[in-house]
Amino acid sequence: MKVAILGFGTVGSSVARILCDLKPEGLQLSHIFNRGVARKKVDWVPAPVVWTEDFDEVLRSDVDVIVELAGGLEPAGSWVRRALEAGKSAVTGNKKLIAKHGVELDRLARSKGAHLLYGAAVAGGIPVIPGLQQGLAGDRITRIEAILNGTCNFILSSMEAGAAFADVLREAQQLGYAEANPSEDVDGYDARAKLVILSRIALRSDIDVESVACRSITEVDAVDLVYARDLNCTIRQISKAELRPDGVSATVGPMLVPLRSPFAWSRGTENMVLLSGKYGGDVVFSGHGAGGNPTAVAVVSDLISLAHGSKAVDLPSRAAQVSGEFEVRHYIRFVVQDRPGIVAEIAGALASEKINIDALFQRTGYEKGNLPFVVTVEPCAASALRRAIDRIAHAGWLAQPPLDMPILGE
């Protein structure tokens, strides 16, 4: 099976290296496509491999499968579509493309007798997608909880150890974990695309990526990790989706996780996916979710599957409505200019939405004009809590907007 790699960056070069070093049976690297390809050439790639910056040259060749690793919706989407239309199979790690157009591209591949595999699109080198399509296809998955972005996990686990957000972000950028513009990671869009893909395969629910609410981890301050510890918790960016009778509840954002939870053990760029099945119970996938080599392993594994006649298991999904509602406990951090009556006003706003206070935490040593304290509340709907917080959003004693985060159940 002749293979063309589209995009010779960090992952693309790692895929080529594995193919050249391991020489997997049934696979032959034949083309490498990249813009300005001359600057990409390396001496360890075999001489017969064609280096090109002309995609049409790849398409006209006798290549059997293209490996799309350029990323983004376009022109990557056009390359994949044209390859499938020509009857060539495609392997990709492009989570944006699969989240938005995966159903359409799957249908196109089947109509042309080709295959589309994307095991590298979620959690890098962790075999979550193959595990769902084959190992868990016999179960009915009802809930997904996951750490799907290694950059956010690196930042938050470093902050847990005492580092400042800006310093850790700069380090993540220097190490290549975060882009110069980190919004895709820290604001939750990267994890959201991966959650949509998992929901399609695990929950058999096709949800619109734009309809899943995201919260940024930039709102998390060092004081939140201090108070989280008082609650026997830490903070992680969690992607969560759950089947409901009328659709799917889904959200991405920072959440408090109990220290006894497996998510609290995840450090650095590790990813972790917990799937809850109706019959098989909970299953956890964990490992390196980022980096050229782990992601390349997933890509090459898909290629080996194709070379040996395997194909993706067809798990039909249905369009589903998305809600952000989860009835869970919440952590609310207020920073105030201290004066009498503040707690009573907060309690009144919460009571107006029938939300009960669980506990109140106030550490000493902070200035009265900039005093942080925390209220935790019993399980309530996110929409009700938002209405209660909106009632006090313009109070004169607020020094900054309140921050609320769900508390993940154990």
CATH architecture group of domain 328-406: 2-Layer Sandwich (3.30)
Domain boundaries, the chain: 2-117, 128-289+316-323, 328-406
Q: Quick one: pLDDT at residue 315? A: 79
Q: Quick one: pLDDT at residue 125? A: 83
Q: Quick one: pLDDT at residue 199? A: 97
Fold of the 2-117 domain? Rossmann fold (3.40.50)
Q: Quick one: pLDDT at residue 410? A: 64
- 40, 96, 194, 240: the active-site residue: 194
The span from the CA of 325 to the CA of 242, in Å, is: 10
Q: Which two tokens stand for residue 213?
A: 């609410």
- Parallel, antiparallel, or unpaired: how do β-strands 233-244 and 141-147 relate? antiparallel
Q: What SS3 class is residue 361?
A: strand
Q: Quick one: pLDDT at residue 365? A: 87
Q: What SS3 class is residue 335?
A: strand
Burial call 11-35: b when 16+ CB within 10 Å, e when fewer: bbbbbbbbbeeeebeebbbbbbbbe
Q: pLDDT tens digits for the chain (410 residues)?
A: 999 999 999 999 999 999 999 999 999 999 999 999 999 999 999 999 999 999 999 999 999 999 999 999 999 999 999 999 999 999 999 999 999 999 999 999 999 999 999 999 999 889 999 999 989 999 999 999 999 999 999 999 999 999 999 999 999 888 877 778 899 999 999 999 999 999 999 999 999 999 999 999 999 999 999 999 999 999 999 999 999 999 999 999 999 999 999 999 998 889 999 999 999 999 999 998 777 888 999 999 999 999 998 776 777 889 999 999 999 999 999 999 999 999 999 999 999 999 999 999 999 889 989 999 999 999 999 999 999 999 998 899 999 999 999 999 86
Query: 128-289+316-323: CATH homologous superfamily?
Result: Dihydrodipicolinate Reductase; domain 2 (3.30.360.10)
Q: Quick one: pLDDT at residue 91? A: 97
Q: What SS3 class is residue 134?
A: helix
Distance of CA 390 to the CA centre of its chain: 29
State residue 360 phi and psi, 5-degree precision.
-130, 135
- Report which of 195, 291, 218, 261 is spatially closest to residue 407, judged by C-alpha positions: 261
| 194 belongs to the catalytic site | yes
Q: Which two tokens stand for residue 117?
A: 């595999």
Q: Which residues pair with 88 in a beta bridge?
A: none
- Report which of 323, 366, 362 is spatially closest to residue 343, judged by C-alpha positions: 362
The span from the CA of 25 to the CA of 1, in Å, is: 9
Q: Are 394 and 247 in contact (CB under 8 A)?
A: no
